[in-house]
């Protein structure tokens, strides 16, 4: 698809919107051109705003008046394009023309500026968000707000990354290393990670920061041995003041990595919340996505965690997986409810460019989008009826059905970290390969980022550079208070 931009700077928003309707095509953006070539979209800002579309036999054009406010011109241009692409395709996008990751943050901002009624009307009438998604956004925003209000100006959360997994899932694009290939790196990585944790803890203490939540992610943290888990978790407990910590989560995501010894190591180190993620309870689906465990292994791991005393367990499901059906997804969700899981996070399959699925030629189509929407609709209706609440939500590009990821929980079991990191509420200090420290000015939305190296071998080989970058944290807070 060719996208031509004339006399405006709205190419980024127009490109993202175009991708919603043409997810499998390359979007060629031209800001300087002499002529146009079909199929094309042409967006011009001259005496009036004009958007033209020519795709096959479909040719149409819409116009709108130019405003003094360039933000309104941008919205008008995007709306015209959405209308034309809707007319061409017949597709109603559930989130309308919104393409950003954080629609709930946008809704909260609008409510602060223009009030609840006007912001809801903006979502429906200007952004073309469906009533169903607006209801979901309304519920999520209310639940998020209660969590955000717990944060203080000096608050922060700690993220610890463990970049190892038993295998790579076919939908995954995260930087990780399989245990089989990276086993020799795991102990050196663990030793250096503990050193980074200690250095970060000293910085937090020197700055007088208040630790609210701890989150171990990855990868799969429970690929570490019980001894390595005890080593890293112990480093957190000895390096940080956890007296104000409200939540300590470890992603024990892959059932085939969970043992009683590892669960005891978590328990003995103050971990109160874990994730055990089936993604589906169909063995055929699990095999299709490259998971090396069975559904029964998930059920066994969940039961073991209960026996070990864990009373706050999250389970992840993914709508739209290859080989799955609407009925299969219903069985998976019903199984999570039968287990009485405290949290059920419902993701939608995202076709990331670096994922094996995409590399193997998998594309998005209408039938799969319709099935995914049926799955997500069932989840929302069923979880709401069972008194689960949506407490955080985010979106990604190239999601099947242009849907969303939603964290659902029983009241009182919401993951605070998930809200804080998604809303960018306060500073996140990150340790480990792939970690990104996000330093937030509490008086504004300004974020400064400090990046760790992505790959475990880089992290180990250039560890001294990572420690040097930690000085940026102190510099940020010194500048903040100067």
For 175-198, the pLDDT digits (tens) are 555 666 788 999 999 999 999 999
The 10 Å Cβ neighbour count of residue 47 is: 9
Cα dihedral 137/220/472/237 (nearest 10) = 100
Distance CA 318, CA 291 (A): 13
Six token digits for residue 112: 């602060």
Beta strands in 320-356 (DSSP E): 343-348
The per-residue pLDDT for 183 is 86
Domains of the chain: 2-89 (3.30.160), 147-469 (3.80.30.20)
Pairing of strands 273-275, 247-251: parallel
Closest of 124, 95, 136 to residue 407, by C-alpha: 136
The 3-state DSSP class for residue 248 equals: strand
The per-residue pLDDT for 177 is 59
Q: How far is CA 28 from CA 14, 51, 387, in A?
A: 11, 16, 46
| Residue that the structure tokens 């223009």 belong to | 114
The per-residue pLDDT for 176 is 56
Are the beta carbons of 196 and 232 closer than 8 angstroms? no
Distance CA 109, CA 295 (A): 42
Distance CA 173, CA 191 (A): 26
What DSSP string describes 437-467? EEEE-TTSS-EEEEEPPSSHHHHHHTHHHHH
The per-residue pLDDT for 445 is 82
Distance CA 350, CA 403 (A): 9
Distance CA 296, CA 290 (A): 16
Q: Residue 102's Cα: distance from chain center in Å?
A: 9
Six token digits for residue 446: 């300004």
Report whether the peptide linkage leading into residue 219 is cis, meaning its omega lies within 30 degrees of zero: yes
Six token digits for residue 209: 């920061």
The enclosing H or E element of 19 equals: helix 11-21
Are the beta carbons of 197 and 161 closer than 8 angstroms? no
CB contact set of 424 (below 8 Å; sequence gap of 6+): 105, 438, 440, 445, 447
Strand partners, 3: 29, 41
Pairing of strands 313-319, 273-275: parallel
CA 174-472-454 angle, 5° bins: 15
For the chain, which residues score pLDDT lower than 70? 170, 173-180, 353-355
Residue 101 DSSP label: S
The 3-state DSSP class for residue 382 equals: helix
Q: Which contacts (CB < 8 Å, 24+ apart) does range 457-466 have?
A: 457/185, 458/433, 459/163, 459/189, 459/192, 459/432, 459/433, 460/185, 460/188, 460/189, 460/192, 463/192, 463/195, 463/196, 466/196
Distance CA 169, CA 260 (A): 24
Query: For the whole model, what pTM was predicted?
Result: 0.94
The per-residue pLDDT for 347 is 97
Strand partners, 4: 30, 42
The predicted-structure confidence for 28-39, as pLDDT tens digits, reads as follows 999 999 999 999
Burial class from Cβ neighbours inside 10 Å (0-12, 13-18, 19+) for residue 105 reads buried
The predicted-structure confidence for 217-256, as pLDDT tens digits, reads as follows 988 999 999 999 999 999 999 999 999 999 999 999 899 9
Pairing of strands 313-319, 210-218: unpaired
Mean of the per-residue pLDDT values for the chain? 94
Are the beta carbons of 409 and 343 closer than 8 angstroms? yes
348 φ, ψ (degrees, to nearest 5): -115, 140
Round the CA-based radius of gyration of the chain to a whole number and report it: 23
| Residue that the structure tokens 């085939």 belong to | 256
| Alpha-carbon dihedral sign for residues 241, 246, 248, 249 | negative
Closest of 313, 298, 307, 387 to residue 345, by C-alpha: 313
Distance CA 211, CA 312 (A): 20
């Amino acid at each position: 698809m060719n996208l031509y931009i004339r006399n405006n700077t709205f190419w980024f928003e127009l490109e993202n919107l175009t991708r919603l309707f043409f997810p499998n095509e390359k979007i060629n953006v031209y800001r300087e051109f002499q002529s146009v070539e079909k199929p094309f979209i042409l967006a011009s800002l001259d005496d009036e705003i004009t958007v033209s579309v020519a795709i096959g036999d479909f040719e149409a054009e819409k116009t709108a008046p130019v405003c003094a406010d360039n933000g309104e011109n941008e919205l008008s241009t995007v709306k015209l394009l959405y209308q034309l692409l809707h007319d061409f395709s017949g597709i109603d996008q559930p989130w309308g023309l919104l393409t950003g990751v954080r629609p709930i943050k946008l809704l909260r901002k609008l409510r602060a500026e223009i009030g609840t009624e006007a912001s809801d009307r903006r979502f429906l009438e200007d952004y073309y968000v469906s009533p169903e998604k607006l209801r979901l956004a309304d519920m999520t925003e209310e639940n998020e707000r209660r969590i955000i209000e717990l944060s203080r100006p000096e608050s922060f959360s700690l993220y610890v990354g463990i970049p190892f997994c038993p295998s790579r899932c076919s939908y995954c694009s995260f930087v990780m290393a399989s245990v089989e290939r990276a086993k020799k790196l795991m102990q050196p990585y663990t030793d250096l990670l503990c050193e980074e944790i200690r250095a970060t803890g000293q910085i937090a203490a020197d700055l007088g920061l208040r630790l609210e939540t701890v989150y171990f992610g990855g990868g799969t943290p429970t690929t570490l041995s019980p001894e390595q888990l005890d080593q890293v978790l112990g480093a957190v407990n000895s390096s940080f003041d956890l007296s104000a910590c409200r939540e300590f989560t470890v992603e024990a995501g892959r059932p085939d990595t969970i043992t009683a010894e590892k669960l005891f190591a978590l328990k003995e180190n103050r971990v109160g919340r874990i994730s055990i993620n089936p993604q589906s309870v169909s063995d055929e689906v699990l095999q299709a996505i490259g998971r090396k465990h069975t559904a029964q292994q998930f059920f066994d791991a969940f039961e073991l965690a209960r026996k070990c005393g864990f009373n706050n367990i999250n389970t992840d499901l993914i709508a739209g997986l290859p080989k799955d059906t609407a009925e299969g997804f219903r069985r998976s969700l019903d199984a999570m409810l039968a287990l009485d899981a405290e949290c059920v996070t419902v993701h939608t399959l995202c076709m990331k460019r670096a994922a094996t699925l995409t590399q193997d030629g998998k594309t998005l189509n209408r039938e799969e989008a319709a099935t995914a929407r049926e799955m997500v609709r069932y989840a929302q209706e069923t979880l709401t009826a069972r008194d689960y609440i949506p407490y955080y939500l985010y979106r990604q590009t190239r999601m099947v059905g242009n849907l969303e990821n939603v964290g659902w929980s029983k009241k009182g079991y919401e993951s605070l970290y998930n809200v804080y990191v998604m809303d960018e509420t306060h500073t996140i200090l990150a340790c480990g390969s792939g970690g990104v420290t996000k330093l937030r000015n509490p008086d504004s939305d300004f974020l400064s980022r400090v990046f760790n190296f992505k790959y475990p071998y880089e992290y180990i080989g250039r560890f001294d550079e990572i420690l040097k970058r930690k000085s940026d944290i102190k510099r940020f807070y010194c500048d903040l208070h100067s």
